[in-house]
Amino acid sequence: MRVLLFTGKGGVGKSTVAAGTAALAAAAGHRTLVLSTDAAHSLADAFDVRVGSEPTMVAERLYVQQVDAQLRFEQSWAEIQGYLLTVLDVAGVDPVAAEELTVIPGAEEVLALLELRLQAGSGQWDVIIVDCAPTAETLRLLALPEALGWYMTRVFPIERRVVKTLKPVLSRAAGVPMPEDSVFDAVERLHRELDEVRALLSGPEASVRLVLTPEQVVLAEARRSYTTLSLFGYRVDGVIANRVFPAEGADDWRAGWVVSQDAVMERVAESFVGLPVWRSVYRPAEPVGVPALSDLAAEVYGADDPLASPVGQGPFRIDRTDRGAVLHLALPFVSRAEVDLARNGDELVITLRAADTGSGVGSYRRLLTLPAVLARYRTAGARVERGELQVRFEERAEERAT
Instruction: Please identify, among the stretches 42-50, 67-75, 119-127, 202-210, the one whose residues bind Mg ion according to the rule CB under 5 A.
Output: 42-50
Is residue 243 within the footprint of ligand ADP (CB under 6 A)?
yes
Instruction: Please identify, among the stretches 4-12, 23-31, 77-85, 383-391, the one whose residues bind ligand ADP according to the rule CB under 6 A.
Output: 4-12
Among 7, 15, 32, 227, binds Mg ion (CB under 5 A): 15
From residue 401, alpha-carbon distances to 323, 372, 381 in Å are 13, 21, 21
In the complex, what is the shortest distance from the CB of residue 16 to Mg ion, in angstroms, rounded to a whole number? 8
Tell me whether residue 148 is exposed, middle or buried, using C-beta atoms within 10 angstroms of its C-beta: 0 to 12, 13 to 18, 19 or more: middle
Residues 333-362 that bind ligand ADP (CB under 6 A): none
Among 42, 65, 81, 271, binds Mg ion (CB under 5 A): 42
Nearest CA to 36 out of 152, 133, 141 is that of 133
Q: Which is nearer to ligand ADP, 145 or 287 (CB)?
A: 287
Q: Would you tell me how many other CB atoms lie within 10 Å of the CB of residue 96?
A: 8
Return the H-helix or E-strand segment holding 148: none
Is residue 135 within the footprint of Mg ion (CB under 5 A)?
no
Q: Using an 8 Å Cβ cutoff, are 2 and 128 in contact?
A: yes
Residues 278-297 that bind ligand ADP (CB under 6 A): 280, 282-283, 286-287
Residues 9-28 that bind ligand ADP (CB under 6 A): 10-16
Is residue 119 within the footprint of ligand ADP (CB under 6 A)?
no
Rg, the chain, Cα only: 24
Angle at 68 between CA 66 and CA 69, to 5 degrees: 115
Is residue 48 within the footprint of ligand ADP (CB under 6 A)?
no
What residues contact residue 291 under an 8 Å CB cut-off, 6+ apart? none
Q: Using an 8 Å Cβ cutoff, are 314 and 232 in contact?
A: no
In the complex, what is the shortest distance from the CB of residue 296 to Mg ion, in angstroms, rounded to a whole number? 14
287 binds, among Mg ion, ligand ADP, none (CB under 5 to 8 A by kind): ligand ADP
* Strand locations in 80-194 (E): 127-131
Phi, psi of 254 (to 5 degrees): -70, -35
282 binds, among ligand ADP, Mg ion, none (CB under 5 to 8 A by kind): ligand ADP
Binding-site ranges for ligand ADP (CB under 6 A) = 8, 10-16, 42, 242-243, 280, 282-283, 286-287
Binding-site ranges for Mg ion (CB under 5 A) = 14-15, 42
